[in-house]
Amino acid sequence: MSRYSIEEFIKQTEQVDKGEGFFELETPRMLEVNLDGQVWAKAGSMVAYHGEMRFVREGILEHGLGTAFKKALTGEGASLMKANGRGKLYLADSGKKIVILKLQNDSIFINGNDLLAFEPSIKWKIKLMKRIAGMMAGGLFNVYCEGTGMIAFTTHYEPLTLRVTPGQPVITDPNATVAWSGNLQPVIQTDISFKTFLGRGSGESIQMRFEGDGFVVVQPYEEVYMNSKQG
Protein backbone atom coordinates (compact mmCIF):
# COMPACT_ATOMS: atom_id res chain seq x y z
CA MET A 1 0.00 0.00 0.00
CA SER A 2 1.47 3.34 -1.04
CA ARG A 3 2.43 5.66 1.81
CA TYR A 4 0.25 8.50 0.52
CA SER A 5 -2.52 6.52 -1.14
CA ILE A 6 -6.19 7.11 -0.35
CA GLU A 7 -6.32 3.62 1.16
CA GLU A 8 -3.47 4.42 3.55
CA PHE A 9 -5.05 7.74 4.51
CA ILE A 10 -8.35 6.01 5.31
CA LYS A 11 -6.53 3.38 7.34
CA GLN A 12 -4.75 6.05 9.41
CA THR A 13 -7.79 8.28 10.01
CA GLU A 14 -10.75 5.91 9.98
CA GLN A 15 -13.22 5.97 12.84
CA VAL A 16 -12.63 3.06 15.23
CA ASP A 17 -15.01 1.95 17.98
CA LYS A 18 -13.14 2.01 21.28
CA GLY A 19 -16.00 0.64 23.34
CA GLU A 20 -15.67 3.41 25.91
CA GLY A 21 -19.39 4.07 26.19
CA PHE A 22 -21.59 7.13 25.78
CA PHE A 23 -18.70 9.55 25.12
CA GLU A 24 -15.53 8.53 23.29
CA LEU A 25 -12.57 10.65 22.24
CA GLU A 26 -12.35 9.69 18.59
CA THR A 27 -9.33 12.00 18.37
CA PRO A 28 -8.08 14.52 20.96
CA ARG A 29 -10.25 17.15 19.21
CA MET A 30 -13.26 15.11 18.11
CA LEU A 31 -15.93 13.72 20.44
CA GLU A 32 -18.03 10.72 19.47
CA VAL A 33 -21.39 10.40 21.19
CA ASN A 34 -22.95 6.94 21.07
CA LEU A 35 -26.46 8.26 21.21
CA ASP A 36 -29.50 6.25 22.25
CA GLY A 37 -31.86 8.88 23.59
CA GLN A 38 -30.80 12.45 24.22
CA VAL A 39 -27.68 14.57 24.72
CA TRP A 40 -27.08 18.28 25.25
CA ALA A 41 -24.38 19.83 23.05
CA LYS A 42 -23.06 23.25 22.20
CA ALA A 43 -24.98 24.77 19.32
CA GLY A 44 -23.00 24.55 16.10
CA SER A 45 -20.66 21.80 17.35
CA MET A 46 -22.05 18.98 15.18
CA VAL A 47 -19.63 18.02 12.42
CA ALA A 48 -21.15 14.69 11.34
CA TYR A 49 -23.53 11.93 12.39
CA HIS A 50 -25.11 8.75 11.16
CA GLY A 51 -28.33 7.21 12.33
CA GLU A 52 -31.65 8.90 13.01
CA MET A 53 -31.32 12.18 14.90
CA ARG A 54 -33.25 15.38 15.43
CA PHE A 55 -31.63 18.61 16.63
CA VAL A 56 -33.38 21.38 18.57
CA ARG A 57 -31.59 24.62 19.40
CA GLU A 58 -32.33 26.21 22.75
CA GLY A 59 -31.14 29.50 24.22
CA ILE A 60 -29.80 28.73 27.67
CA LEU A 61 -30.79 32.21 28.78
CA GLU A 62 -34.34 30.93 28.91
CA HIS A 63 -33.29 29.04 32.01
CA GLY A 64 -33.67 31.69 34.67
CA LEU A 65 -31.95 34.80 33.31
CA GLY A 66 -33.88 37.80 32.13
CA THR A 67 -33.80 39.22 28.62
CA ALA A 68 -31.65 42.14 29.80
CA PHE A 69 -28.49 40.06 29.44
CA LYS A 70 -29.26 38.49 26.08
CA LYS A 71 -27.66 41.28 24.07
CA ALA A 72 -24.48 41.11 26.14
CA LEU A 73 -23.81 37.47 25.31
CA THR A 74 -22.69 35.98 22.04
CA GLY A 75 -25.19 33.95 20.09
CA GLU A 76 -22.94 30.90 19.82
CA GLY A 77 -21.74 30.93 23.40
CA ALA A 78 -25.26 31.37 24.73
CA SER A 79 -26.94 28.46 22.97
CA LEU A 80 -27.18 24.73 23.42
CA MET A 81 -28.86 22.15 21.27
CA LYS A 82 -30.59 18.91 22.14
CA ALA A 83 -29.89 15.91 19.94
CA ASN A 84 -32.47 13.14 20.10
CA GLY A 85 -32.26 9.78 18.42
CA ARG A 86 -29.98 6.82 17.87
CA GLY A 87 -26.63 6.64 16.14
CA LYS A 88 -23.18 8.18 16.29
CA LEU A 89 -22.79 11.92 16.66
CA TYR A 90 -19.47 13.71 16.17
CA LEU A 91 -18.84 17.02 17.95
CA ALA A 92 -15.97 19.49 17.81
CA ASP A 93 -15.37 23.16 18.58
CA SER A 94 -12.81 25.14 16.57
CA GLY A 95 -10.23 22.38 16.86
CA LYS A 96 -9.94 22.76 20.63
CA LYS A 97 -8.82 19.83 22.78
CA ILE A 98 -11.61 17.90 24.45
CA VAL A 99 -11.74 16.78 28.07
CA ILE A 100 -14.23 14.13 29.23
CA LEU A 101 -15.28 13.93 32.87
CA LYS A 102 -17.59 11.43 34.53
CA LEU A 103 -19.25 13.13 37.45
CA GLN A 104 -20.10 10.85 40.38
CA ASN A 105 -22.44 12.98 42.45
CA ASP A 106 -19.97 15.85 41.85
CA SER A 107 -20.30 19.46 40.81
CA ILE A 108 -18.23 21.71 38.55
CA PHE A 109 -18.43 25.16 36.99
CA ILE A 110 -17.54 25.37 33.29
CA ASN A 111 -17.13 28.52 31.24
CA GLY A 112 -20.22 28.79 29.06
CA ASN A 113 -18.15 29.01 25.90
CA ASP A 114 -16.15 25.86 26.73
CA LEU A 115 -18.96 23.44 27.56
CA LEU A 116 -19.24 21.00 24.64
CA ALA A 117 -21.73 18.30 25.69
CA PHE A 118 -23.30 16.55 28.67
CA GLU A 119 -25.71 13.76 29.48
CA PRO A 120 -29.32 14.64 30.29
CA SER A 121 -28.84 13.15 33.78
CA ILE A 122 -26.69 16.18 34.65
CA LYS A 123 -28.51 19.04 36.36
CA TRP A 124 -27.36 22.44 35.13
CA LYS A 125 -28.00 26.11 35.69
CA ILE A 126 -26.54 29.38 34.51
CA LYS A 127 -24.45 31.59 36.78
CA LEU A 128 -23.89 35.13 35.57
CA MET A 129 -20.77 36.89 36.87
CA LYS A 130 -22.35 40.31 37.26
CA ARG A 131 -19.17 42.01 38.43
CA ILE A 132 -17.48 41.14 35.14
CA ALA A 133 -20.46 42.11 32.99
CA GLY A 134 -19.59 45.78 32.81
CA MET A 135 -15.88 45.19 32.28
CA MET A 136 -15.56 42.46 29.69
CA ALA A 137 -16.95 41.94 26.22
CA GLY A 138 -17.95 38.35 26.95
CA GLY A 139 -17.27 35.24 28.95
CA LEU A 140 -19.86 36.55 31.36
CA PHE A 141 -21.63 33.35 32.24
CA ASN A 142 -20.73 29.93 33.55
CA VAL A 143 -22.68 26.70 33.64
CA TYR A 144 -22.96 24.95 36.99
CA CYS A 145 -23.22 21.20 36.43
CA GLU A 146 -23.97 18.66 39.14
CA GLY A 147 -25.01 15.06 39.54
CA THR A 148 -23.87 11.81 37.94
CA GLY A 149 -23.09 11.51 34.25
CA MET A 150 -20.68 12.42 31.47
CA ILE A 151 -19.55 15.95 30.61
CA ALA A 152 -17.22 17.11 27.83
CA PHE A 153 -15.57 20.52 27.70
CA THR A 154 -12.92 22.09 25.50
CA THR A 155 -9.64 23.93 26.01
CA HIS A 156 -7.24 25.74 23.73
CA TYR A 157 -4.16 23.48 23.85
CA GLU A 158 -3.37 21.43 26.96
CA PRO A 159 -5.22 22.32 30.17
CA LEU A 160 -3.49 22.81 33.50
CA THR A 161 -5.29 22.08 36.77
CA LEU A 162 -4.24 24.07 39.82
CA ARG A 163 -5.09 22.94 43.33
CA VAL A 164 -6.69 25.52 45.60
CA THR A 165 -5.99 24.92 49.28
CA PRO A 166 -6.85 26.92 52.41
CA GLY A 167 -4.44 29.82 52.76
CA GLN A 168 -3.11 29.30 49.23
CA PRO A 169 -5.45 31.20 46.89
CA VAL A 170 -5.10 30.92 43.11
CA ILE A 171 -5.54 34.02 40.92
CA THR A 172 -6.37 33.57 37.25
CA ASP A 173 -7.10 35.56 34.11
CA PRO A 174 -10.83 35.14 33.34
CA ASN A 175 -10.08 34.69 29.64
CA ALA A 176 -7.81 31.74 30.42
CA THR A 177 -10.08 30.15 33.04
CA VAL A 178 -12.01 27.12 31.80
CA ALA A 179 -13.52 25.38 34.83
CA TRP A 180 -13.42 25.08 38.60
CA SER A 181 -14.80 22.84 41.33
CA GLY A 182 -18.42 23.45 42.22
CA ASN A 183 -17.73 24.36 45.84
CA LEU A 184 -15.53 27.36 44.96
CA GLN A 185 -16.91 30.87 44.48
CA PRO A 186 -14.36 33.09 42.72
CA VAL A 187 -14.05 36.72 43.74
CA ILE A 188 -13.49 39.24 40.97
CA GLN A 189 -10.65 41.64 41.68
CA THR A 190 -8.90 44.32 39.66
CA ASP A 191 -5.25 45.20 39.54
CA ILE A 192 -4.44 48.57 38.03
CA SER A 193 -0.68 48.04 38.10
CA PHE A 194 -0.91 44.65 36.43
CA LYS A 195 -2.39 46.08 33.24
CA THR A 196 0.69 48.28 32.86
CA PHE A 197 2.85 45.18 32.99
CA LEU A 198 0.73 43.60 30.25
CA GLY A 199 0.97 46.73 28.14
CA ARG A 200 -2.76 47.23 28.02
CA GLY A 201 -3.47 50.89 27.95
CA SER A 202 -7.18 50.91 28.70
CA GLY A 203 -9.20 49.46 31.52
CA GLU A 204 -8.22 47.59 34.62
CA SER A 205 -6.88 44.07 34.65
CA ILE A 206 -9.66 41.77 35.86
CA GLN A 207 -8.68 38.69 37.79
CA MET A 208 -10.50 35.78 39.40
CA ARG A 209 -9.41 34.88 42.93
CA PHE A 210 -10.17 31.36 44.14
CA GLU A 211 -9.96 30.59 47.85
CA GLY A 212 -10.89 27.45 49.76
CA ASP A 213 -10.36 23.79 48.94
CA GLY A 214 -10.77 22.68 45.33
CA PHE A 215 -9.28 23.13 41.87
CA VAL A 216 -9.31 25.46 38.89
CA VAL A 217 -8.57 24.56 35.25
CA VAL A 218 -6.76 27.06 33.04
CA GLN A 219 -5.61 27.01 29.42
CA PRO A 220 -2.49 28.54 27.85
CA TYR A 221 -4.60 30.92 25.81
CA GLU A 222 -6.66 34.03 26.43
CA GLU A 223 -10.06 33.49 24.87
CA VAL A 224 -11.58 36.83 23.93
CA TYR A 225 -15.31 36.85 23.33
CA MET A 226 -17.00 39.39 21.09
CA ASN A 227 -20.45 40.63 21.92
CA SER A 228 -23.09 41.85 19.52
CA LYS A 229 -22.22 45.50 20.06
CA GLN A 230 -18.72 44.90 18.76
CA GLY A 231 -19.88 42.80 15.84
What pLDDT, in 10s, does the model give residues 80-120? 899 999 999 999 999 999 999 999 999 999 998 899 999 99
CATH-assigned architecture of domain 21-226? 4-Layer Sandwich (3.60)
Please write the tens of the pLDDT for every residue from 188-197. 887 766 555 5
- Per-chain mean pLDDT for the chain: 81
Q: What is the pLDDT of residue 7?
A: 85
- At 19-31, the pLDDT tens digits run 668 999 999 999 9
pLDDT at residue 227 in the model: 40
Give me the residue spans of the domains in the chain: 21-226
Alpha carbon distance 174, 135 (integer Å):
11
